[in-house]
């Protein structure tokens, strides 16, 4: 028996369209059983359906949200998801798995373990949501009317755009926030570095600006100058650069008030003699960008702070420029 129309999911037209987004589809396929939690950027309940966006920009439905859209009990979806390794070989699971493979989704699990305000969330991304909706709308022994209506809704608009609009998440705003984080730190740092010396942060605009342009959200969680600073400090000591340029000194570096790191302001940081600036820029171009940056970005992928696609785009933007100048 079909469920009543009263409980069906039918968002209004204004939530079906977004005119200002131009974001490529993205499929997250876990390469192994997930050991770390993804971070949730924003999560809401819209028309009784829980949905959100991860910190790396990937939209999702929660377990209860997807269950409601499919017209099934949340516990039934939970059993399917938790036991996916076995369920995908059963009659229902085989059909769903075929739909997933048609979307080139081959994950060992069908949800991403995430955290929102200290609570774990099972996040179901686009290929999984659409596969389950298609199954319960058309292929299940008892098709669900909710799933049919939801599937038709999402067929008229992009999954990503629908959730972005409902959640109120805009990549453009996140990009503007990145510029704010960057400029605010530049303003503070440029006024605190002693005369005759340079600080790392103000000298790596050649990295940060392309990162922001590539779509990487530069904020209090993603701070590339720490990576550069540690690598350059090690190089400085190993190459005995002080014998050539003079001693580096420490100065008080401060983070903007809205950074969590500001609680421990001021932070002691190194400032380097201005006459070492040429060597630093050469090292940044020929050493860091070629060998250190890929490792840094890989670490950020592991920490769920950005996606492999964005990391690849950043490397494609920065490394060829570095190679062309050598």
Closest CA to 256 of 165, 174, 183: 183
The pLDDT, as a whole number, for residue 182 is: 60
Looking at residue 258, what is its pLDDT? 60
Q: Which pLDDT does position 104 carry in this prediction? A: 79
Q: Strands 49-54 and 59-61: what pairing?
A: antiparallel
What is the structure's pLDDT at 203?
A: 80
Residue 138, pLDDT score: 93
Question: If you ran DSSP here, which 8-state letter would residue 15 be given?
Answer: G
Find the helix packing angle between 126-134 and 159-167, rounded to 10°: 110
Query: Is the full-model pTM beyond 0.85?
Result: no
CA–CA gap between residue 44 and residue 33 (Å, rounded) = 27
Per-position pLDDT tens, the chain of length 326: 434 433 444 333 232 322 223 333 333 333 344 445 788 888 999 888 999 988 777 889 999 999 999 999 999 999 999 999 999 999 999 999 999 988 878 778 899 889 888 899 999 998 899 999 999 999 999 999 989 988 887 776 678 778 877 877 655 555 555 566 566 666 666 667 888 998 887 787 777 777 776 666 665 556 677 788 888 999 999 999 999 999 999 887 776 666 666 676 777 888 899 999 999 999 988 888 877 877 777 777 776 666 777 677 777 767 654 434 44
Cα–Cα nearest to 69, from 7, 125, 111, 13: 7
Q: Which two tokens stand for residue 214?
A: 């590539």
Most distant CA pair in the chain, distance = 83
Cα 89 from Cα 26, distance rounded (Å) = 26
**Residue that the structure tokens 């969680």 belong to:** 221
Structure tokens at 142: 């008892």
Contacts of 124 (CB under 8 A, 6+ apart): 60, 61, 62, 63, 65, 66, 81, 110, 111, 112, 132
Report pLDDT for 269: 83
3-state DSSP assignment of residue 29 = coil
User: Rounded to whole angstroms, how far apart are CA atoms 163 and 41?
Assistant: 13
């Amino acid at each position: 028996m079909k469920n009543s129309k009263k409980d069906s999911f039918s968002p209004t037209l204004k939530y079906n369209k977004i005119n200002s987004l131009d974001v490529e589809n993205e499929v997250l396929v876990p390469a192994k059983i997930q050991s770390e939690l993804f971070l949730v950027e924003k999560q809401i309940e819209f028309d009784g359906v829980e949905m959100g966006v991860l910190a790396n920009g990937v939209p999702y439905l929660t377990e209860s949200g997807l269950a409601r859209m499919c017209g099934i009990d949340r516990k039934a979806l939970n059993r399917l998801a938790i036991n996916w390794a076995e369920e995908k070989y059963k009659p229902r699971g085989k059909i769903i798995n075929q739909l997933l493979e048609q979307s080139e989704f081959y994950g060992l699990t069908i949800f991403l373990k995430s955290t929102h305000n200290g609570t774990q969330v099972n996040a179901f991304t686009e290929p999984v949501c659409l596969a389950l909706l298609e199954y319960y709308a058309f292929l299940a022994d008892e098709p669900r009317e909710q799933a049919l209506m939801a599937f038709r809704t999402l067929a008229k608009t992009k999954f990503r755009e629908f959730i972005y609009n409902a959640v109120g998440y805009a990549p453009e705003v996140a990009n503007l926030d990145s510029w704010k984080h960057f400029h605010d730190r530049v303003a503070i740092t440029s006024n605190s570095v002693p005369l005759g010396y340079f600080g790392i942060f103000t000298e790596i605009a050649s990295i940060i600006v392309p990162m922001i342009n590539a779509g990487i959200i530069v904020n209090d969680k993603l701070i590339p100058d720490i990576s550069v600073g540690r690598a350059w400090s090690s190089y400085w000591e190993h190459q005995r650069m002080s014998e050539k340029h003079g001693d580096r000194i420490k100065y008080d570096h401060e983070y903007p008030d809205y950074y969590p790191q500001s609680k421990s302001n001021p932070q002691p940081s190194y400032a380097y003699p201005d006459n070492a600036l040429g060597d630093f820029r050469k090292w940044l171009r020929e050493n860091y960008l070629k060998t250190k940056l890929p490792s840094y970005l890989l670490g950020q992928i592991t920490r769920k702070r950005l996606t492999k696609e964005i990391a690849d785009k950043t490397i494609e933007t920065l490394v060829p420029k570095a190679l062309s100048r050598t």
